[in-house]
Amino acid sequence: MPTVSMTVNGKPVTAEIAPNTLLVSFLRENLRLTGTHVGCDTSQCGACVIHIDGESAKACTVLALQANGAEITTIEGLAKGNNLHPMQKAFQENHGLQCGFCTTGMIMSAVDLVKKHGKPDDATIRKGLEGNICRCTGYQNIVKSVKAAAQEMEG
Amino acid sequence: MGTQTGIGASVKRKEDKRFIIGKGRYLDDISRPGQTYGYFIRSPHAHAKITSLDSTAALKAPGVVAVLTGPDMQADGIGPLICGWGITSKDGTPHKAPAHPALAIGRVRYVGHQVALVVAETLQQARDAAELVEIEYEELDHVIEVGDALAAGAPQIHDDVPGNLSFDWELGDRAKTDGAISAAHHVTRMKLRNNRLIPNAMEPRAALGDYDSGTDEITLYTTSQNPHVHRLVLSAFNAVAPEHKLRVIAPDVGGGFGSKIFIYSEETVCAWATKKLNRPIKWTAERSESFLSDAHGRDHETFAEMAFDANGKILGLKVSTKANVGCYLSTFASAVPTYLYGTLLSGQYTIPAIYCEVQAGFTNTAPVDAYRGAGRPEATYVVERMIEIGAREMGIDPAEIRKRNFIAPDAYPYETPVIMTYDSGNYALAMDKALEAIDYSGFAARKAQSQTKGKLRGIGFSAFIEACGIAPSAAVGSLGAGVGLWESAQVRFNPTGSVTVFTGSHSHGQGHETTFAQIISDQLGVPIDQVEISHGDTGKVPFGMGTYGSRSLAVGGSAIMKAIDKIVEKSKKIAAHTLEASVEDIEHSGGVFKVAGTDKQMTMAEIAFSAYVPHNYPADVEPGMDETAFYDPLNFTFPAGTHIAEVEIDPDTGTTEILDWVAVDDFGNVINPMIVEGQVHGGIAQGIGQALLENCVYDKESGQLLTGSYMDYCMPRADDLPTFRVQTINTPCKTNPLGVKGCGEAGAISAPAALMNAITNALGKEIDMPATPEKVWRAAQGL
């Protein structure tokens, strides 16, 4: 079996894996980082979004081997110790989550969205999160959360 | 208690922390030592005989532990899946609910039907081995639409169900309603289609069976809204294990919307197979399996007649519905198109005569059962589309015609012709507030402005009602329910003053861990961070009937209130003893027990400590501070309100833009306004999904599910939805101690009618849901 090496949440990891192992399976099963979720099988729902070298990506559509040498950040690595990322705080402050299943992917997508757009308006946020499905919130409080976090992230 | 954390405060959710840092514990996050993986082989045919099944090659494949089939389960005495609500047909005969083995025996009846379970050391090995199981089918004719299934000469889905008719049920007074219609000034007649939906909670269903041969106990982890009901049914009917040897754990569950109420094949099989193989077995649905085999929702074909006098006063409503129940009756499937539907056809209106008949037909599709709202969205859709169309036909303003028919605020208790007794409400107030919020008087000018841009503007109303807080046990028992619908709560003070509440109301997004803690904080003065809400484990929580029908707060919350009453009663005795006063002189408020007219007092924390360290303690009082209560509601609750949608249609593209959405809902008292608002948002989003985007489609020719993935089934996404403007009015419910009515389903119940009324108002003609751009474009182009 081939060997894969990458940095996950700041820690170097190396493992022997079957070549068809998806990155999301590697994170969930091998590293037991279960905050990254699987909600569909067609790369539509966005529950599995992580950052690869700082860019958001759907971990269900990347082979672990493709991430060889990459810097991976998952939801577990977003906070600095006990200090939550402003996006995490904003989701709690603005009731941006209900069941929580889509939330981790939603937060990871939103962080990248704000990085790219600065202070996005409602329409930009809604368009930017088009690849993340939430069945609970109707998105309104997610939009509110992202806007609030954007203020903090800039400041 | 202070307003910061008590009843009425928008307390930030206590449960959020684990979810935002990736430490939620959903089912697939759990693994057990020595765990195997299950993969279900499913029917590729809509209807076929299984002529042979050969697993020889699969059993030799690497890592394979077993291939299990329906006959194996039958041989082990595992009973079929059940329907828990008996419906009686017009002719007095019981509904027909053919045996539903958890794994098919001899015949498959829908695409996705569970045929066999392959168990292997890894999921990949189970999947690979499934390819090696050789199954021969002999295809049979199939039928997809309920109208076709109930027509003469339709393919027979079950040998013992002639004409595919499960039941032919009626409610109300047929003769009186016919009389009202024939004597009416005007009768509105419409065919209405309530489209079939797939629930799509974001966490797919999953199950993990874990048998302990030392204790002979099976632990079933499963994605359930009601783990105790799972345990009861799996024990009493499926005979998987006796109740005391079966523990059901529903950990963090990623949304339910009804679809995780039911006792499905997959968890039944996993619970049985773990003991048979003496290995933990985990199965997690792929999304495509969810599409195929989660219970679907809605799917009604209805003909309705609404009779009016010359002033637009409704004289009668007659409704004839064909309900598609899929290929078997799922756990509560029979209750949804009957007692959760026909009983709500009076809406918010005084209608002297109502008659409803429902034929439930089997088809070669996945079972259909409760989905957010369950029967009540279908009822609201009928009533609110009919009154709106009636208003148009008679040239009466749609807000005005509703006001002429509203039940007056002083008419409660109000008994409808369809066996419900509404306890409270103020429908005109909600309507007036909604009209003001949307600036109804300015609509004509806004419409004219749209016209100048070549756009069609429309406005639509929905004055919905629902029956929630499900449900008084004796009442539903008399209507066919196989269970009681009470709730239990245990309130346990720890010696150091913190509290653990065990509730049977499972939380899978609703925020119970916060709302229920607010009740404790409010009533007993405990800081909210000292309150823990425990749910979802039959090994911890005494009993429970679970979460559905917007019942958690009205029923589960009321059970907590009853347990609090017992805590207070006991605490008064302890305080009286310690403070050397009589019990009658102890006054309680927010966790402080005071001797009336003195400054002598004890706090709840001091009393709890005394109860566990009873050194100076009343002789006739038991030590400990831990009370359990069961609460059986006296009546349903009746949340109601008005939603108004305003849309603009581009006739050249057929796209509908929702410009504004106002919701004014009466949920009675509100514990946490922030959470309530979030529930309304989510409900409206699902209702908009039904009206605009979502539609479950089977190909009639092949019986294949055409909308079997997110590529084909259009889920509402962030850029499909507007910003909702939500407010509440609060007429307290008169039949429960919290005065609450429930808020979880309102949006999904109200939204489809509001949006379709707006779209058809803009178009000036009728179309059915979903109002896809193609349908809207055709209508706008006069095609």
A144 interface with B at CB cutoff 8 Å: no
Chain B environment of A91 (Cβ under 8 Å): 16, 20
At B716-726, the pLDDT tens digits run: 999 999 999 99
Residues B270 and B302 in one domain: no
Kindly give the interhelix angle for B558-578 and B604-612, rounded to the nearest 10 degrees: 80
Omega cis (within 30) before B280: no
pLDDT band, very low/low/confident/very high, at B3 (cuts 50, 70, 90)? low
Interface test with B, best of A42, A132, A135 (most B CBs within 10 A): A135
Q: How far is CA B598 from CA A50, B315, B523, B602, in A?
A: 62, 63, 22, 12
B509 interface with A at CB cutoff 8 Å: yes
Does a structural domain hold residue B732?
yes
Cβ density class A14-33: b for 16+ within 10 Å, e for less: eeebeeebbbbbbbbbebeb
On whether the CB atoms of residues B349 and B425 are closer than 8 A, the answer is no
Last residue of a domain, one of A77, A111, A129: A77
On whether the CB atoms of residues B15 and B534 are closer than 8 A, the answer is no
Residues A7 and A69 in one domain: yes
| B10 to chain A: closest CA residue | A95
Burial class (CB in 10 A: 0-12, 13-18, 19+), B453: exposed
- A40–B709 CB contact, under 8 Å: yes
Residues B673 and B765 in one domain: yes
pLDDT for B1 equals: 43
Residue B448 has pLDDT above 50, yes or no: yes
The amino acid occupying position B404 is R
Residue B741 has pLDDT above 70, yes or no: yes
Residue B18 has pLDDT above 70, yes or no: yes
Residues A55 and A20 in one domain: yes
Residue A33 maps to which CATH number? 3.10.20.30
Residue B151 has pLDDT above 90, yes or no: yes
The amino acid occupying position B393 is E
Q: How far is CA B503 from CA B228, B229, B347, B517, B549, in A?
A: 11, 14, 32, 11, 16
pLDDT for B263 equals: 98
Residue B759: other Cβ atoms inside 10 A: 26
On whether the CB atoms of residues B621 and B573 are closer than 8 A, the answer is yes
- B19–A34 CB contact, under 8 Å: no
Residues B379 and B238 in one domain: no
Q: Tokens at residue B230, please?
A: 């799972």
B258 interface with A at CB cutoff 8 Å: no
Between CA B96 and CA B362 the distance in angstroms is: 10
**What's the whole-number mean pLDDT along residues B183-207?**
98
On whether the CB atoms of residues B71 and B303 are closer than 8 A, the answer is no
Residues 717-756 of B with CB under 8 A from A: 717-719, 721, 723-724, 747
What's the angle, vertex CA B50, arms to CA B46 and CA B55, rounded to 5?
A: 120
Q: How far is A96 from chain B (nearest CA, A)?
A: 9
Q: What is the SS3 assignment for B586?
A: strand
Chain A environment of B745 (Cβ under 8 Å): none
**What's the whole-number mean pLDDT along residues B583-598?**
98
Three-state SS for B624-682 is: CCEEEEEECCCCCECCEEEEEEEEEEECCCCEEEEEEEEEEEECECCCCHHHHHHHHHH
Q: How many domains does chain A have?
A: 2
Between CA A103 and CA A108 the distance in angstroms is: 9
On whether the CB atoms of residues A71 and A13 are closer than 8 A, the answer is no
Residue B610 has pLDDT above 70, yes or no: yes
Q: What is the SS3 assignment for B396?
A: coil
Residue B604: other Cβ atoms inside 10 A: 25
How big is the A-B interface in CB pairs under 8 Å? 175
Torsion of CA B511, B517, B521, B524, to 10 degrees: 140
Q: How far is B257 from chain A (nearest CA, A)?
A: 9
Kind and range of the H or E run holding B362? strand B353-362
Residues B659 and B689 in one domain: yes
Determine the length of chain A: 155
**What's the whole-number mean pLDDT along residues A140-150?**
98
Residues A73 and A92 in one domain: no
Residue B400: other Cβ atoms inside 10 A: 12
Residues A92 and A72 in one domain: no
Q: How far is B385 from chain A (nearest CA, A)?
A: 24
Three-state SS for B474-504 is: HHHHHCCECCCCCEEEEEEECCCCCEEEEEC
Cα four-point dihedral sign B591, B597, B599, B600: negative
Residues B281 and B410 in one domain: no
| A132 to chain B: closest CA residue | B717
The amino acid occupying position B142 is H
| B509 to chain A: closest CA residue | A99
At B521-548, the pLDDT tens digits run: 999 999 999 999 999 999 999 999 999 9
- A101–B717 CB contact, under 8 Å: no
Q: Looking at the partner chain, which of A129, A130, A137 has a beta carbon nearest the beta carbon of B678?
A: A137
Residues B251 and B302 in one domain: no
Between CA A48 and CA B28 the distance in angstroms is: 13
Residue B215 maps to which CATH number? 3.90.1170.50
Does a structural domain hold residue B397?
yes
A61 interface with B at CB cutoff 8 Å: no
B33 interface with A at CB cutoff 8 Å: no
Between CA B511 and CA B524 the distance in angstroms is: 20
A35 interface with B at CB cutoff 8 Å: yes
Between CA B148 and CA B153 the distance in angstroms is: 9
pLDDT for B2 equals: 47
- A100–B16 CB contact, under 8 Å: yes
Residues B359 and B268 in one domain: no
Last residue of a domain, one of B601, B631, B661: B631
Q: How far is A59 from chain B (nearest CA, A)?
A: 15
Q: Tokens at residue A50, please?
A: 């992580």
DSSP state letter for B720: G
Between CA B32 and CA B73 the distance in angstroms is: 24
Q: Looking at the partner chain, which of B681, B711, B721 has a beta carbon nearest the beta carbon of A44?
A: B711
Does a structural domain hold residue B568?
yes
Unique residue bearing structure tokens 């027990």: B593
What are B184's strand-pairing partners? none
pLDDT band, very low/low/confident/very high, at B399 (cuts 50, 70, 90)? very high
- A142–B20 CB contact, under 8 Å: no
- A137–B12 CB contact, under 8 Å: no
Residues B281 and B335 in one domain: no
Residues A16 and A69 in one domain: yes
Residues B562 and B646 in one domain: no
Closest CA to B43 of B53, B34, B33: B53
Q: Looking at the partner chain, which of B508, B674, B681 has a beta carbon nearest the beta carbon of A140?
A: B681
A145 interface with B at CB cutoff 8 Å: no
Omega cis (within 30) before B413: yes
Q: How far is A122 from chain B (nearest CA, A)?
A: 9
Residue A116: other Cβ atoms inside 10 A: 12
Residues B280 and B306 in one domain: no
* Contacts of B75 by beta carbon, 8 Å cutoff, 6+ apart: none
Burial class (CB in 10 A: 0-12, 13-18, 19+), B767: middle
Unique residue bearing structure tokens 């209508």: B779
pLDDT for B544 equals: 95
On whether the CB atoms of residues B704 and B46 are closer than 8 A, the answer is yes
* 3-class SS shares of chain B: helix, strand, coil, % to 5: 30, 25, 45
- B19–A74 CB contact, under 8 Å: no
- A129–B718 CB contact, under 8 Å: yes
On whether the CB atoms of residues A40 and B711 are closer than 8 A, the answer is no
Last residue of a domain, one of A27, A47, A77: A77
On whether the CB atoms of residues B285 and B187 are closer than 8 A, the answer is no
Does a structural domain hold residue B196?
no
Q: Looking at the partner chain, which of A76, A79, A130 has a beta carbon nearest the beta carbon of B718?
A: A130
* Domain containing residue B237: 31-140+202-255+260-293
Chain A environment of B252 (Cβ under 8 Å): 99-100
Residues B249 and B112 in one domain: yes
Residues A67 and A97 in one domain: no
Q: How far is A68 from chain B (nearest CA, A)?
A: 22
Last residue of a domain, one of A13, A44, A77: A77
Mean pLDDT for chain B overall: 97
A127 interface with B at CB cutoff 8 Å: yes
Chain A environment of B13 (Cβ under 8 Å): 92, 95
Does a structural domain hold residue B391?
yes
Q: How many domains does chain B have?
A: 3
Does a structural domain hold residue B382?
yes
* Domain containing residue A114: 86-154
Does a structural domain hold residue B176?
no
Q: Tokens at residue B258, please?
A: 């009804």
Residues B313 and B456 in one domain: yes
Residue A134 maps to which CATH number? 1.10.150.120
Unique residue bearing structure tokens 């890894």: B122
Instruction: Please state the separation of Cα B431 from the chain's center in Å.
Output: 26
pLDDT for A155 equals: 52
**What's the whole-number mean pLDDT along residues B456-473?**
97
Instruction: Please state the separation of Cα A102 from the chain's center in Å.
Output: 10
Residues A63 and A92 in one domain: no
DSSP state letter for B106: S
Closest CA to B52 of B140, B122, B113, B138: B138
Q: Where are the alpha helices (DSSP H) in A10-102?
A: 23-25, 86-93
- A136–B509 CB contact, under 8 Å: yes
Residue B413 maps to which CATH number? 3.30.365.10
Q: How far is B86 from chain A (nearest CA, A)?
A: 32
Kind and range of the H or E run holding B445? helix B443-452
At B48-86, the pLDDT tens digits run: 999 999 999 999 999 999 999 999 999 999 999 999 999
Kind and range of the H or E run holding B444? helix B443-452
Burial class (CB in 10 A: 0-12, 13-18, 19+), B110: buried
Between CA B759 and CA B461 the distance in angstroms is: 11
Residues A92 and A150 in one domain: yes
Does a structural domain hold residue B603?
yes
Residues A107 and A54 in one domain: no
Closest CA to A105 of B123, B24, B509, B686: B24
Determine the length of chain B: 783
Residues A28 and A45 in one domain: yes
Residues A51 and A90 in one domain: no
Chain B environment of A143 (Cβ under 8 Å): 718, 723
At A13-46, the pLDDT tens digits run: 999 999 999 999 999 999 999 999 999 999 999 9
How much of chain A exceeds pLDDT 70, in percent? 99
What are B306's strand-pairing partners? B188, B317
Q: Tokens at residue B13, please?
A: 């959710």
Residues A147 and A93 in one domain: yes
